Chains A and B, each alone.
Chain A
């Protein structure tokens, strides 16, 4: 009997879809009866979010639902998985999963002794206390907390003031007026109760700038210790959780829109023109810096943009 330890940073047993993915893998693997058990440590109760990558590569942690960009300081290519405008919407995220772009990313992941068990792309949006964030002009002069360095570069290019603040302080920052705008995932917008503070929310919709890759990862060392039967059971469970996620991910965005509009927040969407204006800006800021600073950066961006 082998027990695997799975870690993530979201609340456990309360319906968070990333927690639910791990729960599904646990249920499926244990039902397969291949001598495999999974012990889940939710809510960062074992490893801190940022420490999970090191623990995976060294084999101290077996499984994790992990926002890959957190490791971009160690593997700079991973910044491409939180790069503005590379995904656009959930349907395209599905196509992206089977593209050469993701093949390249997964190859890099494996070079770091980590295996991908299931894919997951989360969408996010913008919210502001001032006005609706649509085109690049609309965020000018606002003190903004962005999720991810590539977004910070693009938003700075649009004339926003970037404040690097921990996500836990975003609510207080908005409330006291330190922050005007924020950019984060749909789930975080709801769980941080930002609808109490903002005037307008830009939902992900058809033209979402913000997407983040948050796969279920497994340490290669732990993977190699399993027998073939166990590996197959894990991969099958990963497949089931991935299907679950694909169905649920859009529901989170709908939930976001519902909660915010029920609380009297204005809802906005980015038009095709807005989206293209942002992409143009990203070409000169985040894409450019990524291409300059990262080996194979330009190729990664080209591959992602090529996907239909």
Chain B
């Protein structure tokens, strides 16, 4: 039997080699794990691989993932994003940088209805990017602010990654959701501040193109935002008013949103409804397969005693807790460059959380720091889902411009993490105040 460090290194090399072919992450993870189990425990492990994969998915908390994605997809397919964005614009457009503020504000409000970041990005960006470009904002800022604003989808509840974290670490999903709210607001504010500063630096005059809306026009925009607000309030009530658990609230939210799309926005044609479901299946099957494969991967790592050895090795290093947190952040950042959030959380959270809590950090605070790291991953190359979404909805903006526009927001998020380290209350205050 080889030592855990050797087998761990071999496992990682095999995984990287498979990932390099561009094959699906889920299948690469699964194959490496099955291979390791067959080599070490013999052919008998075939008797438990299927059950382990199945058991990893057959968890009630996980069913909320497709449902929250369905919720976001049905709202994203409706003009609700446009209405929201327009209403904000009519009210804010006399404020310097009002358009930027309404875009980022719409992103963060939309995040409250979508568990995933690409949906947020697409829903607001479809309208927001052309409008900003039309009013003469630099293309890099238009694309970058939406790419960054879209990442809020996984920080502001509901959030698919928070659900996955909650399951992987056995923490309360309701609490995790609450912990994400204030940091979400903080990041939105940081994004807004940076956008206005960079516009000034590029010599963009905010006054030049702002159209004046009458009070009447402003009031007219409000009713169209109502259904949207109704759903947000409805879901908050279902979640925290004793009607249902977070997992069940996802089902109610999905049904609300489909009914909203069908009744108010008249999206009832079978072909359009099918499209909403097809998009949902596509994204959630991808995530669920990664979850199942991660279950196998975690099993293989634990079976070879790799997980335990890494944990012991890190805790034996006996470094200052902030140095530890720094190392963990760099590690997460690098992992996020290459892997989607769900895969990173599933593969690392069970190893990292015991170390982090041992060092005296709050598990809910850490969830927020982890999520912001994952948000950074969404807008950094080589694998940055939001970058590709922006590229898809605004094909005339080259990828390099989107990249250039996004990078400053990475700095904003790093600043956000630093602020959270200095003032952990930003994440922990709300759950403590509301849930004790």
Chain A residues within 8 Å of B, Cβ to Cβ: 39, 41, 45-48, 50-51, 54-55, 58-60, 165-166, 168-169, 171-173, 175-178, 196
Contacts and interface: CB of A to CB of B under 8 A. Distances in A.
Contact of A178 (B243, B299, B302): B243
Contacts of B52: 47-48, 51
Interface string B242-267: 11111100000000000000000000
Max chain B C-beta neighbours (<10 A), residue from A59, A172, A178: A172
Contacts of B41: 60
A172 B55 contact: no
A187 B112 CA distance: 37
A51 B299 CA distance: 12
B305 A39 contact: yes
B242 A177 contact: yes
Contacts of A47: 52, 299
23 contacts: A41-B302, A45-B308, A45-B350, A48-B55, A51-B48, A54-B51, A55-B48, A58-B48, A60-B48, A165-B60, A168-B61, A169-B247, A171-B172, A172-B173, A173-B245, A175-B174, A175-B435, A176-B239, A176-B240, A176-B241, A178-B242, A178-B244, A178-B245
A175 B241 CA distance: 10
A168 B170 contact: yes
A172 B172 CA distance: 7
A196 B61 CA distance: 23
A257 B59 CA distance: 32
B45 A60 contact: yes
B140 interface: no
A166 B308 CA distance: 27
Contacts of B45: 60
B55 A60 contact: no
* Main DSSP-derived SS at the B contact region: helix
Given A168-B61, A196-B436, A59 B240 contact: no
A306 B299 CA distance: 44
A35 to B, nearest CB: 15
Given A45-B307, A177-B242, A166 B172 contact: no
Nearest to A44: B170
B7 interface: no
Nearest to A49: B55
Given A51-B52, A176-B239, A176-B243, 20 more contacts: A45-B307, A45-B350, A47-B299, A48-B56, A54-B47, A54-B48, A54-B51, A55-B48, A58-B44, A59-B44, A60-B47, A60-B48, A165-B245, A172-B173, A173-B245, A175-B435, A176-B245, A177-B241, A178-B245, A196-B436
B277 to A, nearest CB: 27
Given A41-B302, A60-B41, A172-B173, A50 B55 contact: yes
Nearest to B239: A176
Nearest to A48: B55
CB-CB nearest 3 A-B residue pairs: A177-B242, A58-B47, A176-B242
Contact of B174 (A41, A55, A176): A176
B51 A51 contact: yes
Contacts of A39: 305
Contacts of B56: 48
A271 B94 CA distance: 73
Nearest to B173: A172
B398 to A, nearest CB: 47
Nearest to B167: A168
A39 B305 CA distance: 10
Interface string B9-53: 000000000000000000000000000000001001101100110
Interface in B188-244: 239-244
Contacts of B315: none
Given A45-B307, A50-B55, A55-B48, A172 B243 contact: no
Nearest to A175: B435
Interface in B69-111: none
A166 B245 CA distance: 11
A125 to B, nearest CB: 23
A74 to B, nearest CB: 12
A163 B334 CA distance: 43
Nearest to B45: A60
Contacts of A171: 172
A176 B305 CA distance: 39
A51 B241 CA distance: 35
Contacts of B174: 172, 175-176
Contacts of B350: 45
Interface in B272-309: 299, 302-303, 305, 307-308
A45 B172 CA distance: 19
B55 A169 contact: no
